[in-house]
Amino acid sequence: MASSSSVFVLLSFLFFTLFHVQISASSLILPVTKDSATLQYLTTLSYGTPLVPTNLVLDLGGSNLWIDCASRNAPSSSSISVPHRSIQCLTAKSHEIETQAWVTSLSNPEELDQPCQILSQNSITGTKSSEGELVQDLVALKRWKLEEEEGPKSQILFACSPTLLLKGLASGAKGIAGLGRSRSSFTSQIFDSLTTQRKMSFCVSSSSGVVVFGNMGYEFQPSDEILRSLTFTPLLTATNNQKNPNSQEYFINVNSIKIGGKKVSFNTPSLSQDGNGAMLSTVVPFTTLHSSIYQIFESAFLKAALAMNMAKVEALAPFGLCFSSEGNPSVPIIDFVLQSEMVKWSIHGRNSMVQVNEKVMCLGFLDGGVDAKNNIVIGGFQLEDVLVQIDLDTNMVGFSNSLLMKQTSCSDFKRLASSMVAAE
């Protein structure tokens, strides 16, 4: 009898062969805005028949796409319920159940024609619901080279989840678009139907930005200069991410941290020694560090800041370390040292210090607690105005220096996209 893993591989192959039609198109784009009240990043997808524009929170590591379908004024006439015994159901459940359990359930006549129920999670609050019904429906996509032009419409699988999951999301948001590594994430489904390299590039700012699926290309300044200058580091995979082997998120290896050019001494030779890499996240507003790391990090930053004549002031929640911003003082540079001393992610003042009022700025790194699942979570504030490219074909992550150092920003990429002319 075939093993459960071989059954899964065979069924997954059949699913993506039979149920996905490749799109011959330019790279596709999701416009991004930031909600100032919640610090969440939002995109808008139009789905169903008739098409209804729907605001969704972007979760870089989310495992699937879920929507409060009941928020539509009228049900979509093109929505198709996915049955429990389908290959689509298996694929959507692959990150939450054992394949053998799903195969065994097919022998139960009562479950054969039942709708597929999958787990949906609000990654902001941690709330989960198993009442999400898997459906397939039309989603309108936008081309990278001409954002204002509607691109192809694709059949996308997503969960119609209960309204209670919306609690904690930005006002007007009707679900979450998961861009993680699972086979049923929005990203995976786009790449399975798009005739391009499996590259996802995202660039967010305090106002707007973009997510691009496929090649951004070098056709337009300043994107060509920025793309050519990306620094690359390996994306941790299941084999070398020992603590999170089944994770759908994106992790990179951080060996050490330097502040003001000086290496910070922690109680471990490598911050990723235990197989727990640094996770990239768009739902965590500020970078969080495990308490054992944060306490040493904060002390080292304070020492470097005082040496640069920064004036410490009373901390303002949720931040643990704040300074006077009067006189626009210089700030110590924070370096995440990656696979070697020559490869580092440098975080300058704009991405390390949060201006909380006219006179006070605070260190935008938070204590994640002693029970933090991950040693380091690189949050949205540190990702702003940095072009990040995740290449799923080569398992590499590329990142730029702060675009503000080049007198541009991620909001310029959104304007850039709408001004480019298709080359067909």
| Cα–chain center distance at 382 | 13
Residues 6+ apart with CB under 8 A from 108: none
Task: Assess whether the previous peptide bond of 222 is cis (omega < 30° from 0).
Answer: yes
Query: Between the CA of residue 114 and those of 84, 108, 109, 134, 254, what are the distances in Å?
Result: 6, 11, 10, 11, 46
Contact 323, 311 (CB under 8 A): yes
Q: What is the pLDDT of residue 4?
A: 46
> What is the spatial distance between Cα 53 and Cα 174, in angstroms, rounded to a whole number?
10
CA 22 to CA 367: how far, in whole Å?
45
User: What are the boundaries of each domain within the chain?
Assistant: 28-213, 231-386
Over the chain (424 residues), the average pLDDT of each successive run of 10 is 45 38 60 96 96 97 96 95 88 63 55 82 94 93 60 86 97 97 92 83 93 71 73 80 69 94 82 74 97 95 97 97 96 95 95 97 97 93 96 95 90 57 28
Cα radius of gyration rounded to whole Å, the chain: 22
State residue 88's pLDDT score. Answer: 87
Q: What is the pLDDT of residue 15?
A: 38
Check if CATH label 3.10.310.70 holds for domain 231-386: no
pLDDT at residue number 300:
97
With contact defined as beta carbons under 8 Å apart, do 402 and 383 qualify? no
Say what the pLDDT of residue 5 is.
Answer: 46
- Other Cβ atoms less than 10 A from the Cβ of 129: the count is 17
pTM of the model: 0.87
The pLDDT value given to residue 8:
43
pLDDT of residue 240: 54
Return the CATH number of the domain spanning residue range 28-213: 2.40.70.10
Phi and psi angles of residue 232, each rounded to the nearest 5 degrees, phi first: -115, 145
DSSP track, 213-249: ES---S-STTHHHHHHT-EEEEBP-TTT-TTSTT--S
Burial class (CB in 10 A: 0-12, 13-18, 19+), 243: middle
What Cα–Cα distance (Å) separates residue 66 from each residue in 49, 69, 99?
A: 17, 9, 22
State residue 237's pLDDT score: 74
Q: How far apart (Å, rounded) are the C-alpha atoms in residues 288 and 278?
A: 10
User: Could you check whether 28-213 and 231-386 share the same CATH topology?
Assistant: yes
